[in-house]
Structure 1
């Protein structure tokens, strides 16, 4: 009897080399690479990193201004060498970058020359980093030039043995306590999530993926790999601009688009030349990462076709947990069919989802509880954080902190989050991190940060602040303080000053009460 099927990321390169050597693998602006030429560059990069002294198990980070072919080359090269990838959000402040690199014990850092100013401001604190590689002009004489390294290295697979249980990625996420964490993906969990995507989207070698989700977000990792796995082509654009999106779809005959959040979809729907572009090649428009208001879908489906698919997941799983397919996007259906648009769909092929009460007992249809998950694509745990890992992984089940229910047909509805994470424009924001910054202001006594419904961002960051007796502060001061210390998407859109915050008898802030208050004040009406 043969053993179970195993595979690692590097084998995707090998398979496509002999199956589709001259087929287009990746495109970015005027650059097009076949599987043969892309494998040549990837193997050269892998050998270069090994020759510089980095070894299997050494985390390597990368910092880029936007999506580009080099991002995918780095991901594959690190997969081949067994070095965990550590993507850095290009919108992070220098303080956030330093903390991330330090926590992950990063040994190598690949950066784009356009971000040299940001890098130089943080370089002195990057004590663990041994090797710096620049895409473009290096900022230091000690840094290596990306393209020169490729020219100096052999285009053959490096002599590194990688197992499916090896760590493939350390992906940054927000935490329940407000402290950032890194999720551990292994080759096995990553590729398990990839296969789920292949099955759900029925991907083939004829698929062409337009990827405008930023390289530091999880769809970039599992969706790109899923299309590459099948021998399809990846198309990258610099930013989610309506003109760039529509132009790329028409030019490359894109079949799958990843992925829309409310803000991006609104911009495309409002684009005056939308009807002039041929988008008939698209099979799926993927969306997720932020609540999608019904009104936007009501506009999008008639205008762009019933080709939308919603994906629900979390960083702790390399892939998705549930999907709402195009066939289930019924805008003019029955009340039951329309209500399903408020759900995140049903389980992916290899997902196992349950809704449980506080004692861990499975509840019936329509009864709220915590969503728990298990599957082969689940993380190994949190990097160097056994306490947090133990708190959420119990008997093989991941306790998501999401509160919701299943209906009688197993459609999953998310009604709240234990973790209080705000999702604004597709970005996850931990309120405590923003609150900690606000409380640095000498006039601030207390602060509560919440997400309130917003038609453009899905949720908008709102700060509610109590000042110290006799002290003063302005909304502009609080916002500027946050701008100086946080990534831009974490900065509150508005600040209210109140005499006190509602609290429980134990002194905990009743955030649900604040959300309810400001949701009503904003005049938000649910479907």
Structure 2
């Protein structure tokens, strides 16, 4: 069905669908361009059921290539080029693609070559098989080798339908997609839902996030909704333009991790609407909703499940999800068991439900630290650290300890101009945390390694701590 989405939208109302820089693309323009790309790809040997790996620089070409592959019935496998050649080789060996479109490493043909050959339209049939695998999205491999999540057409369409209904999106809505198109958030938070209803999507020309450009574009394009990860929203709220420009027309959504209360408060103090979202590659990025006016009073909550989505907690508090938007499983991993016997997806995330029925995220199950018989949620300690006036960033993880079983360790980045010791930090933390939650070791570093979308690999931090104690990034000032 996705193969005909652009054509159907163009028939209803041929408005601007996507804008990149000074270039605007209507729905009919996108349909024609994706048709020509489908023709070129089919001439290169791409057939129904094939996998095509993409490392494409141009965001508009990435979008049209996806729709071109849907017309053929092939599967998009977008890869983050920043993960390096070893990661790419792993994905190549795993999915055995019929084609690689590569603007970075020279492992396949370039997108320019595809466009050069895209000189005819492509005749395709309307299909109604929602079980076709539309994308394979690779996880970062934070707990082992990367795994390719098989995202079927039904998952994408149902996520879009549920989002449109639950968040009240219409053809009059506009957004900027700041997340990359090798990430489920880039495709599925707002891009596909807005294309479904005939809205407008602005795609940045570069994958480097610029808070000033984002604010200016939100105002210039009249954007009505915007989703960012915590680092993006923090940067937006710290920009001088945040104070001087009016963003009251924008609904802000945080995803990819909890937003610090003090960051959320900056938006609330300006009278802006904001709420916390939650998602994952395997179940799409949009699963909850809490009205902005309720979020103000409970900024650590994600609210209640969206329409058609069932949620429950396991005995240990793991969030379990069931719905038509959930993925089909992992590519080439028949031994993986991501579902319970009654069909719920195991998210690996620990939640609590309050007496209002609102859900709140506690921690990744694998990141919960068991120390001296007590459970410590790393996110709780991170929030406490980041709210200290002299801490700019922090990450908390557990390491093996002979006495405690696991010891709580924190790596922190100080704000410029502050001179504090490890004991100073521990003393301040004891004012707000139980003593067993206070890190046994606090390491000052110049920066904390993160992915392009601002996420931290706790596994990498543990490995670096055990290997050399972060000696290459120590801040001894």
State the secondary structure of the residue aligned to 2:299.
Answer: helix
RMSD of equivalent CA atoms: 3.2
Query: Aligned partners of 1:270 and 1:420: how far apart in 2?
Result: 29
- How big is each residue's C-alpha offset from its partner over 1:87-136, in whole Å with a ceiling of 9 and x where there is no partner? 11132111111112221222212233xx2xxx14xx3xxxxxxxx33134
- How big is each residue's C-alpha offset from its partner over 1:253-299, in whole Å with a ceiling of 9 and x where there is no partner? 111112x22221222122123333343432x1111102211111112
Structure 2 partner of 1:310: 276
Query: Aligned partners of 2:25 and 2:246: how far apart in 1?
Result: 24
Once the two structures are superposed, the pairs formed by residues 154-173 of structure 1 within 5 Å of their partners are: 154=121, 156-159=122-125, 161=127, 163-173=129-139
Structure 2 partner of 1:398: 345
1:262 corresponds to which of 230, 233, 248: 230
Q: Does 1:374 align with 2:366?
A: no
1:326–1:157: structure 2 CA closer, same or farther, 3 Å change rule?
Answer: farther
Query: Aligned partners of 1:299 and 1:315: how far apart in 2?
Result: 29
Asked if the contact 1:392/1:400 (under 8 Å) is kept, the reply is no
* Deviation of 1:252 (Å): 0.9
* Deviation of 1:418 (Å): 2.2
- How big is each residue's C-alpha offset from its partner over 1:370-419, in whole Å with a ceiling of 9 and x where there is no partner? 2111000111111111111x353432111222222211221112223223
1:393–1:12: structure 2 CA closer, same or farther, 3 Å change rule?
Answer: farther
1:10 corresponds to which of 3, 9, 23: 3
1:108–1:298: structure 2 CA closer, same or farther, 3 Å change rule?
Answer: same
Structure 1 partner of 2:260: 293
- How big is each residue's C-alpha offset from its partner over 1:291-348, in whole Å with a ceiling of 9 and x where there is no partner? 2111111122223x33112211111113422223312222xxxxxxx3x321222111
Once the two structures are superposed, the pairs formed by residues 302-451 of structure 1 within 5 Å of their partners are: 302-303=269-270, 305-330=271-296, 338=297, 340-357=298-315, 369-388=317-336, 390-420=337-367
Once the two structures are superposed, the pairs formed by residues 7-156 of structure 1 within 5 Å of their partners are: 8-21=1-14, 23-65=15-57, 68-112=59-103, 115=104, 119-120=105-106, 123=107, 132-136=108-112, 145-150=113-118, 152-154=119-121, 156=122
Query: Aligned partners of 1:58 and 1:194: how far apart in 2?
Result: 25
Query: Aligned partners of 1:314 and 1:300: how far apart in 2?
Result: 25
Asked if the contact 1:183/1:382 (under 8 Å) is kept, the reply is yes
Query: Aligned partners of 2:246 and 2:52: how far apart in 1?
Result: 40
1:263–1:207: structure 2 CA closer, same or farther, 3 Å change rule?
Answer: same
- How big is each residue's C-alpha offset from its partner over 1:453-512, in whole Å with a ceiling of 9 and x where there is no partner? 26499763769699xxxxxxxx9xxx9xx99xx999656499546999xxxxxxxxxxxx
**TM-score normalised to the size of structure 2?**
0.76
Query: Aligned partners of 1:264 and 1:162: how far apart in 2?
Result: 38
Query: Aligned partners of 2:229 and 2:344: how far apart in 1?
Result: 28
* Deviation of 1:241 (Å): 0.6
State the secondary structure of the residue aligned to 1:312.
Answer: coil
Query: Aligned partners of 2:99 and 2:90: how far apart in 1?
Result: 15
1:61–1:262: structure 2 CA closer, same or farther, 3 Å change rule?
Answer: same
Structure 1 partner of 2:191: 224
Once the two structures are superposed, the pairs formed by residues 231-250 of structure 1 within 5 Å of their partners are: 231-237=198-204, 238=206, 239-250=208-219
Structure 1 partner of 2:426: none
Query: Aligned partners of 1:51 and 1:499: how far apart in 2?
Result: 52
1:457–1:231: structure 2 CA closer, same or farther, 3 Å change rule?
Answer: farther
Query: Aligned partners of 2:3 and 2:125: how far apart in 1?
Result: 12
State the secondary structure of the residue aligned to 1:15.
Answer: helix
Asked if the contact 1:47/1:158 (under 8 Å) is kept, the reply is no
1:395–1:409: structure 2 CA closer, same or farther, 3 Å change rule?
Answer: same
Structure 1 unpaired stretches of 5+: 1-7, 124-131, 137-144, 331-337, 358-367, 423-449, 467-474, 501-527
Query: Aligned partners of 2:76 and 2:467: how far apart in 1?
Result: 44
Paired residues, what number? 402
1:460 corresponds to which of 395, 411, 419: 395
1:352–1:176: structure 2 CA closer, same or farther, 3 Å change rule?
Answer: farther
* Deviation of 1:161 (Å): 4.4
- How big is each residue's C-alpha offset from its partner over 1:32-66, in whole Å with a ceiling of 9 and x where there is no partner? 1111111110111112111221101111121134x
Asked if the contact 2:215/2:241 (under 8 Å) is kept, the reply is no
State the secondary structure of the residue aligned to 2:18.
Answer: strand
Query: Aligned partners of 2:462 and 2:366: how far apart in 1?
Result: 21
Query: Aligned partners of 2:151 and 2:78: how far apart in 1?
Result: 13
